[in-house]
Chains A and B, each alone.
Chain A
Amino acid sequence: MTYYKINTDAHSLYYSEIAEQALPLFEVQVIIENKAGMNDPEGDTILNDLVLKGGSGAIKKIHSAKMLKFQITSPKKESAEKSVKKICDDLRIYNPMVSKVTFSAKPI
């Protein structure tokens, strides 16, 4: 008689992967920008040394920011945003002292 040892961990991982694949995919946009009142030398340089010198005098202010796009499987849009927010908070993807962050998810 042959006995087969079942690796339950591997099986559960396999089935959880299948379950995840069945979930809809979302793209969560994470926009990281300076808090109000923070110096923004990058935005100022783009404005003063590029845009205004190019003759676009109607532009009064430019704020620089960073955007990350996370693709994530999740049952709902809200839970996708919540999961990405937790990742960003836990890993300090942004620095809470100087940055404010907005999260917006859309289905892919």
Chain B
Amino acid sequence: MFFNRCYWLWFNNRATYNGIVKVGVIVFPGSNCDRDMFHVLQDVFKLDVKYYWHEDKLPKNLDAVVLPGGFSYGDRLRAGVIAAHSPVISDVKKMAEKGMPVLGVCNGFQILVESELLPGVLLKNTSLNFMCQWTELIVKNNKTPFTSKFKLGQKIPIPIANGEGRYYIDKENLEKLKKNNQIVFQYGSNINDSVFDIAGICNKEGNVVGMMPHPERAVEPEINPKDCAPSNMIFQSLIATVGARK
């Protein structure tokens, strides 16, 4: 089983676009999943990864950008709202408009929402507790750069870790999300009262994806007691999408 998994990882990632995909990991004051994300992208998937501080300019040759999880600016005012005004976000917006894949995980998702790259808002969990547990996602859209390798309805065992992860959007805009196929992931069960059990969405074009669960914490068997393969496919989808464009 282990060797099968190793071969599968090697076959799907390392032999194809090794080092060709250039990914920027954006770091804000208070980010704390940036190193995990960097490690996974560089050491597990062998991508060309660089950190970019929130005051930096992004180079034009980047293939993708990841906004990692954490507590940017200590979640002051609302999670993600201060980071959404960072200089780097204006570059992210410009590159997203041109179709570059952007992934926001947890606090990264909150920043994408507060910067209006994605619709809706993430509110405090109804329990008011910080929720840290394994959950199950269901893939609802496999047309994005981060889900292209999934089958519709495929399940992903993955951990969440958030205090403000309850996705909310009003009825009118929820209908727009459904109509435009912008709901990317749903929770398998109602864990935090998110509207329509939404765990991840994308923009209309599909290149900007935000999700509350942490795929970077689920791709290595050392820290994933369940199944790494589905979470791996999030990054493999990115590699395949960018690789196909090159």
Which A residues fall within an 8 A CB radius of B?
38-39, 41-42, 45, 91-93, 95, 97-98
Identify which of B25-33, B55-63, B121-129, B214-222 touches chain A.
B121-129
A41 to B81, CA, bound (A): 21
Are the CB atoms of B128 and A39 closer together than 8 Å? Answer: no
Are the CB atoms of B123 and A39 closer together than 8 Å? Answer: yes
Nearest neighbor of A34 in chain B, beta-carbon distance: B123
In the complex, what's the smallest C-beta–C-beta distance from B242 to chain A, in angstroms?
31
Are the CB atoms of B77 and A42 closer together than 8 Å? Answer: no
Are the CB atoms of B126 and A98 closer together than 8 Å? Answer: no
A92 to B83, CA, bound (A): 12
Instruction: Out of B81, B84, B125, B168, name the residue touching A97 (CB < 8 Å).
Output: B168
Are the CB atoms of A92 and B84 closer together than 8 Å? Answer: yes
A98 to B168, CA, bound (A): 8
Which residues in B have their C-beta under 8 angstroms from that of A91?
Answer: 85
Which B residues fall within an 8 A CB radius of A?
77-78, 81, 84-85, 114, 120-121, 123-128, 168-170, 173, 193
Closest 10 CB pairs of A and B: A41-B126, A95-B121, A97-B121, A41-B128, A98-B121, A45-B128, A92-B81, A98-B168, A39-B126, A41-B124
A3 to B78, CA, bound (A): 53
Interchain Cβ contacts under 8 Å between A and B, 6 examples: A41-B125, A92-B81, A93-B77, A97-B120, A97-B173, A98-B168
Which residues in A have their C-beta under 8 angstroms from that of B120?
Answer: 97
Instruction: Out of A41, A42, A97, name the residue touching B169 (CB < 8 Å).
Output: A97
Are the CB atoms of B127 and A41 closer together than 8 Å? Answer: yes
Which residues in A have their C-beta under 8 angstroms from that of B128?
Answer: 41-42, 45
Nearest neighbor of A45 in chain B, beta-carbon distance: B128
A14 to B228, CA, bound (A): 62
In the complex, what's the smallest C-beta–C-beta distance from A96 to chain B, in angstroms?
9
Which residues in A have their C-beta under 8 angstroms from that of B77?
Answer: 93
In the complex, what's the smallest C-beta–C-beta distance from A92 to chain B, in angstroms?
6
18 further A-B pairs in the complex, CB-CB below 8 A; given A92-B81, A95-B114: A38-B168, A39-B123, A39-B126, A39-B193, A41-B125, A41-B127, A41-B128, A42-B128, A45-B128, A91-B85, A92-B114, A93-B81, A95-B81, A95-B121, A97-B120, A97-B169, A97-B170, A98-B121
In the complex, what's the smallest C-beta–C-beta distance from A62 to chain B, in angstroms?
14
Most B CB within 10 A of own CB, among A38, A41, A42, A45: A41
A92 to B117, CA, bound (A): 14
Which residues in B have their C-beta under 8 angstroms from that of A97?
Answer: 120-121, 168-170, 173
Which residues in A have their C-beta under 8 angstroms from that of B127?
Answer: 41
In the complex, what's the smallest C-beta–C-beta distance from B240 to chain A, in angstroms?
34
